[in-house]
Chain A
Amino acid sequence: MVPSLSPSDPELNDDLDIEFRKVFKSFDGEVAVGGVDVEIRRAEFFSILGPSGCGKTTLLRLIAGFETPTSGELLIRKVSMLGVPPYRRPVNTVFQSYALFSHLTVEDNIAFGLKIKKLGRGEIQDRVRETLRLVKLEALAKRFPEQLSGGQQQRVALARALVNRPMVLLLDEPLGALDLKLRKEMQLELKRLHQKLNITFVMVTHDQEEALTMSDRIAVMNGGKVEQIGTPSQIYDRPQSQFVAEFIGDTNIIAGKIEGSHPSMLWVKCDEGELFQVQPISTGSKVLTSGRVVINLRPEKVQLLRSDPRTNGTNLDGKNCFEGSLVSTLYLGTHVNCVIRLRSGRTLLVRQPSPDVVSKIAGPVYVVWGPHDCLALPVPD
Chain B
Amino acid sequence: MASSPFSNSSKSWSQRLEPFLMLVPAGLWLFLLLILPTLLIFELSLVPGIKPGDLVNPSSLVNYFKIFEPSVLWVILRSIGLSIATTLFCLILGFPVAYWIALLAPKRWQNLLLLGFVLPLWTSSLLRTYAWISILRPTGVLNTLLMILHLPTVDVMNQLPAVLVGMTYSLLPYMVLILYSSLEKIDRRLLEAAADLGAPPKDVFVNITVPQALPGIAAGVLLVFINAIGDFVNPELLGGPSSMTAARLLYSRFLGASPDWGMGSALSALLIMLVTLVIVCLIKYGDKNARAI
A residues with CB within 8 A of B: 2, 64-66, 85-88, 91-93, 95-97, 99-103, 112-113, 116-117, 144, 146-147, 160-161, 164
Neighbouring A residues of B190 by C-beta, 8 Å: 99, 101
Q: How far is the CA of A99 from the CA of B191 in the complex (A)?
A: 9
What are 16 inter-chain pairs, A to B, with CB distance below 8 A? A64-B196, A86-B192, A87-B199, A87-B200, A91-B196, A99-B187, A103-B291, A112-B194, A112-B197, A113-B197, A113-B199, A116-B199, A116-B207, A160-B193, A161-B196, A164-B197
- B198 contact from A95, A96, A97, A164, Cβ within 8 A: A164
Top 9 A-B residue pairs of the complex, sorted by shortest distance between their CB atoms: A113-B197, A99-B189, A99-B193, A86-B195, A103-B211, A116-B199, A93-B196, A116-B198, A87-B195
Residues 199-230 of B at the A interface (beta carbon under 8 Å): 199-200, 203, 207-208, 211-212, 214
Q: Is the CB of B198 within 8 A of A87?
A: yes
Q: Is the CB of A95 within 8 A of B293?
A: no
Q: Is the CB of A93 within 8 A of B291?
A: no
B289 contacts the other chain (CB 8 A):
yes
Q: Which residue of B lies closest to A113 (CB)?
A: B197
Give the size range of B's interface with the partner.
Answer: 20 to 34
Q: Which residue of B lies closest to A160 (CB)?
A: B197
Neighbouring B residues of A101 by C-beta, 8 Å: 190, 193-194, 208
Neighbouring A residues of B214 by C-beta, 8 Å: 103
- A103 contact from B199, B289, B293, Cβ within 8 A: B289
Neighbouring A residues of B192 by C-beta, 8 Å: 64, 66, 86, 93, 95, 99
Residues 248-293 of B at the A interface (beta carbon under 8 Å): 289, 291, 293
Q: Is the CB of B195 within 8 A of A147?
A: no
Neighbouring B residues of A103 by C-beta, 8 Å: 211-212, 214, 289, 291
Q: How far is the CA of A161 from the CA of B189 in the complex (A)?
A: 14
Q: Is the CB of B193 within 8 A of A93?
A: yes
Q: Which residue of A lies closest to B212 (CB)?
A: A103
Query: A87 to chain B: closest CB distance in Å?
Result: 5
Query: A1 to chain B: closest CB distance in Å?
Result: 9
Query: A146 to chain B: closest CB distance in Å?
Result: 8
Q: How far is the CA of A164 from the CA of B196 in the complex (A)?
A: 10
Q: A147 with B293: in contact, given A97-B189, A99-B189, A116-B203 (CB under 8 Å)?
A: yes
For B168-203 the 0/1 string (1 means CB < 8 A from A) is 000000000000000000010110111111111001
Since A96-B189, A112-B194, A116-B198 are in contact, a sample of 4 more A-B pairs with Cβ atoms closer than 8 Å, ordered by chain A residue number, is: A99-B189, A116-B199, A116-B207, A144-B291
Q: How far is the CA of A240 from the CA of B72 in the complex (A)?
A: 88
Q: How far is the CA of A2 from the CA of B193 in the complex (A)?
A: 17
For B144-184 the 0/1 string (1 means CB < 8 A from A) is 00000000000000000000000000000000000000000
- Chain B CB count within 10 A is highest, among A87, A93, A113, A117, for A87
Q: How far is the CA of A160 from the CA of B189 in the complex (A)?
A: 14
Neighbouring B residues of A91 by C-beta, 8 Å: 196
- Chain A CB count within 10 A is highest, among B194, B197, B208, B293, for B197
Q: How far is the CA of A146 from the CA of B212 in the complex (A)?
A: 14
Q: Is the CB of B195 within 8 A of A85?
A: yes
Query: B213 to chain A: closest CB distance in Å?
Result: 10
Q: Which residue of A lies closest to B211 (CB)?
A: A103
Neighbouring A residues of B211 by C-beta, 8 Å: 103
Q: How far is the CA of A93 from the CA of B195 in the complex (A)?
A: 10
Q: How far is the CA of A117 from the CA of B198 in the complex (A)?
A: 7
Q: How far is the CA of A112 from the CA of B208 in the complex (A)?
A: 10
Q: How far is the CA of A65 from the CA of B193 in the complex (A)?
A: 11
Neighbouring A residues of B212 by C-beta, 8 Å: 102-103
Q: Which residue of A lies closest to B293 (CB)?
A: A147
Neighbouring B residues of A86 by C-beta, 8 Å: 192, 195-196
Query: A3 to chain B: closest CB distance in Å?
Result: 13
Query: B263 to chain A: closest CB distance in Å?
Result: 46
Query: B159 to chain A: closest CB distance in Å?
Result: 42
Q: Which residue of B lies closest to A143 (CB)?
A: B291
Query: A88 to chain B: closest CB distance in Å?
Result: 8
Neighbouring A residues of B194 by C-beta, 8 Å: 101, 112
Q: Which residue of A lies closest to B193 (CB)?
A: A99
Q: How far is the CA of A101 from the CA of B186 in the complex (A)?
A: 11
Q: Which residue of A lies closest to B195 (CB)?
A: A86
Q: How far is the CA of A160 from the CA of B211 in the complex (A)?
A: 19
Neighbouring B residues of A64 by C-beta, 8 Å: 192, 196
